[in-house]
Amino acid sequence: MVTATHEASHQLFRKHPEALTPVFEALGLPPPVKTDFHELSADVTEIRPMERRADTVLMFEPDMGEHFVLAVEAQTKKDPEKARNWAYYIAYLRAKYDLPVLLVAVCRDPSTAAWAMGPFECAVGPWTTQVTRPFVLGPQTVPEVTDEAAVAQQPALAALSAIVHSQSKRASAILEAVARGLVSFEPNVTKYWFEVVEVGLESTPARDNWRKLMQNVVTHFPGHGTLFEEKYLEGKSEGKAEGKAEDILRVLAVRGVPISDDVRKQVTACTDLDILTTWFDRSLTVSRAEDLFSAAEEDDPAAS
């Protein structure tokens, strides 16, 4: 079953393979660079009607060094059937791409992480024909990111740290450091990473703490009108203005009111929420789009 944790894992590693840094360090390889990866189909289904699908499959193709395939799987609990599927994934991808395959399992729960390390053997009597040994990204292998500066430098790894350490004793400290580090980015980037972590935390108690941090952590000195706080809040206000402008144009379009390029430009260029709210109210009744900008008598109490 696809869970929120699986979705977060897929999004994280597909778009930000630099989060695999602990894996590459353990293998003695240089830190991963995004341009060395490209996504492959996660479908490992054969013609027979049995669907199998890995969470994320990436091809690692550096200019120099060994090329290989990475299959990334989020695992929330021990599952013997999944262990058998992992062996199939590796064999299938090895045959399809004729390259070595590295299976990476992402686990929040320490006991699940210990189980996922394997080895999982296929044996008859004393003879072993196949061994599956995933590399596990979990509490034992992912560093605890508690430095805000490190978050700003490696947001993908920080997001992964917040997710896999969500059940540790230091979870609160990690979440707070990650949250404060993420707000150093532009508001839309901060929002993206906050959502990645929130989805990855799924139904854990840490998710509630994270949602509170999302609401409260904007700056180290909230309410003091610092340059950063003004910039951050300005970005949030611009986002609301853009949404309000879209609503105005959508209402006019649904009502069949023609919208000229000049009207569209004036609406989308406005960043004053009060003005946009007035225009929105007018968009519900005007017969011409240009009338949005007219001080109609009903908007002027002195005219009555």
CB atoms within 10 A of CB 106: 29
Please provide residue 132's backbone torsions phi and psi, each rounded to the nearest 5 degrees: -110, 120
Together in a domain, 165 and 254: no
Provide the phi-psi class of 98: left if phi over 0, else alpha when psi is between -120 and 50, else beta: left
Question: What does the alpha-carbon distance between residue 20 and residue 16 come to, in Å, rounded to a whole number?
Answer: 8
Instruction: Single out the residue in 88, 106, 137 at which a domain terminates.
Output: 137
Give the C-alpha distances (Å, rounded to integers) separating 230 from 60, 97, 190. Answer: 42, 51, 15
pTM of the complete model: 0.64
Residue 174 forms part of a structural domain: yes
pLDDT of residue 184 exceeding 90: no
Instruction: Single out the residue in 85, 103, 137 at which a domain terminates.
Output: 137
Together in a domain, 181 and 209: yes
Instruction: Single out the residue in 159, 187, 216 at which a domain terminates.
Output: 216
Nearest partner of 13 among 105, 111, 85, judged by Cα: 105
Show the domain range for 156: 148-216
Together in a domain, 124 and 98: yes
Task: Please state whether the peptide bond connecting residue 119 to the residue before it is cis, i.e. omega within 30 degrees of 0.
Answer: yes
Residue 159 forms part of a structural domain: yes
3-state secondary structure labels for all residues of 54-65: CCEEEEECCCCC
- Max CA separation in the chain (angstroms): 97
Together in a domain, 117 and 168: no
> For residue 240, how many C-alpha atoms fall within 13 Å in the half-sphere facing its CB?
12
3-state secondary structure labels for all residues of 93-156: HHHHHCCCEEEEEECCCHHHHHHHCCCEEEEECCEEEEEECCEEECCCCCCCCCCHHHHHHCHH
Together in a domain, 110 and 9: yes
Measured over the CA atoms of residue 250, residue 255, residue 261 and residue 262, the dihedral's sign is: negative
Residue 296: the pLDDT is 43
Together in a domain, 241 and 294: yes
Q: What's the number of domains the chain is made of?
A: 3
Residue 272 forms part of a structural domain: yes
Question: What does the alpha-carbon distance between residue 54 and residue 44 come to, in Å, rounded to a whole number?
Answer: 7
pLDDT in tens, 205-263: 898 888 888 766 655 455 555 544 555 556 656 667 788 888 899 888 888 889 999 99
pLDDT in tens, 260-302: 999 999 998 888 888 888 898 888 888 899 999 875 444 444 4
Please provide residue 249's backbone torsions phi and psi, each rounded to the nearest 5 degrees: -65, -35
pLDDT in tens, 72-131: 998 988 998 888 899 999 999 999 999 999 999 999 999 999 999 999 999 888 899 999
Burial of 41 (0-12, 13-18, 19+ CB in 10 A): exposed
Together in a domain, 8 and 133: yes
Residue 172 forms part of a structural domain: yes
Residue 221 forms part of a structural domain: no
The residue with tokens 């399809």 is 96
Tell me if 97 sits within 8 A of 69, measured CB to CB: yes
Nearest partner of 171 among 109, 215, 217, 220, judged by Cα: 109
Question: What does the alpha-carbon distance between residue 148 and residue 146 come to, in Å, rounded to a whole number?
Answer: 6
Together in a domain, 200 and 239: no
Q: Find how far residue 94's CA is from the centre of its chain.
A: 28
What are the tokens at 179? 């949250």
Residue 297: the pLDDT is 40
DSSP state of 243: H
Residue 222 forms part of a structural domain: no
Residue 213: the pLDDT is 81
pLDDT of residue 1 exceeding 70: no
Together in a domain, 231 and 178: no
